[in-house]
Amino acid sequence: MNTVNLRSEGIFKLSQLKLEISEQGNSLVSDFLLGLGSLGVAEDIKQDNMFEISAYFPMESDIAQVMSSLKEYLGFLKESIPDIKIGQITVEHIDQSSWQLWRSVLKKIRAGKKVIIRPPWEEHQPKGEEIVIEINPSLAFGTGHHETTRLCIEAIENIANTKNIHKILDVGCGSGILSIASVMLGVVDVTGFDTDPIAIRESRKNALKNEVLDKIKFFCGYLQSAKGQYDLIVANVFIEPILSMREELRSRLLPDGILIISGIPHTRRDEAVRGLNTAGFNLHNELREGDWVALEFKLN
């Protein structure tokens, strides 16, 4: 889930914009709202393949203009996707006391067998082989509280336990959580990239906090800029960019390498498998939590 920065100085009141939309448009609308200046977007699955999107804007934002732009974009989506379902748009103001409720929601959480992810206000003393990662909820995707992040960490851990992974590429690194977890799970050469400079800034801050910044190469850009080939590529992004990058992903994967993709609702699992099959990938393993899946592929 995308969340806004709980420690942003000077943010005492926010405008929260909410709407429900069917699965075909949730990722498109989330990206559009971020482009309109949202501090962050949260997505929650409702019933009947509907998603509730909550976007947060500073009080000084022209929310009327945001609403106008959003309604125009939703009209375009209705024309482009005839069976899309869109609910009403609502706006409410959140003061500091309501904002602090995030602290009661975002608690430490386990991902895989070893990894514990905690926000700064939660403590955890590691037991046995446990690995503790501190992630400050921020403008970038990836606090560990979304199923897809946990699934990716579980997949990385499982693979690292059974295969020598020297080089990993984190596609759309967001908060940097998967890159950080990879280093802590023993991967020696980690590269993470994102097209959003805010995400790269947050990734570096989180890696520094967890004392692994010197072991990760972060860059702002696109997959074409990644150098060389990798034992493991992980892409926790939406299905549309995954499919658009499939040929490039193939060229960046070593012959015996593994590709992990997530950000995939289980209802689109077959679509993802078919799409990657056309680029020469075969499904090797899959993990599921709730309504989300992580899929592991090998090359033919």
Pull the structure tokens for residue 52: 């509730």
pLDDT of res. 97: 53
> Which residue ranges does the chain devote to CATH 3.30.70.120?
14-102
Q: Which of 148, 233, 235, 136 is nearest to 190 (CA)?
A: 233
pLDDT of res. 2: 34
Q: Which of 31, 75, 87 is nearest to 55 (CA)?
A: 31
Strand boundaries in the chain, DSSP class E: 14-22, 40-45, 50-58, 90-94, 109-111, 115-118, 131-134, 167-171, 189-194, 216-220, 230-236, 253-265, 281-289, 292-299
Q: Specify the 3-state DSSP secondary structure of 248.
A: helix
Give the sheet arrangement for strand 90-94, strand by strand. 40-45, 50-58, 14-22, 90-94
pLDDT of res. 23: 84
pTM: 0.70
Rounded CA separation 23/6 (Å): 28
The residues, ordered by sequence, that sit 6+ positions from 214 with a Cβ below 8 Å of its Cβ are none
pLDDT of res. 95: 65
pLDDT of res. 166: 93
Per-residue pLDDT for the chain (300 aa), expressed as one digit of tens each?
333 333 333 344 678 899 999 988 887 888 888 778 777 777 777 777 788 888 888 777 888 889 999 999 999 999 888 889 999 899 988 765 554 555 655 678 888 899 998 888 778 888 889 999 988 765 445 566 678 889 999 999 999 999 999 999 999 998 899 999 999 999 999 999 998 887 898 899 999 999 999 999 999 999 999 989 999 999 998 888 899 999 999 999 999 999 999 988 888 999 999 999 999 999 999 999 888 899 999 998
CATH topology of domain 14-102: Alpha-Beta Plaits (3.30.70)
The residues, ordered by sequence, that sit 6+ positions from 269 with a Cβ below 8 Å of its Cβ are 286, 293, 295
> Which residue ranges does the chain devote to CATH 3.40.50.150?
141-299
pLDDT of res. 7: 30
Rounded CA separation 75/69 (Å): 10
Q: Are 147 and 133 within 8 A, CB to CB?
A: no
Of the options 3.40.50.150, 3.40.50.620, 3.40.50.20, 1.10.3720.10, the CATH number for the domain spanning 141-299: 3.40.50.150
Q: Which amino acid is at 240?
A: E
| 270-295 as b/e: b if 16+ CB within 10 A | eebbebbeebebeeeebbeeeebbbb
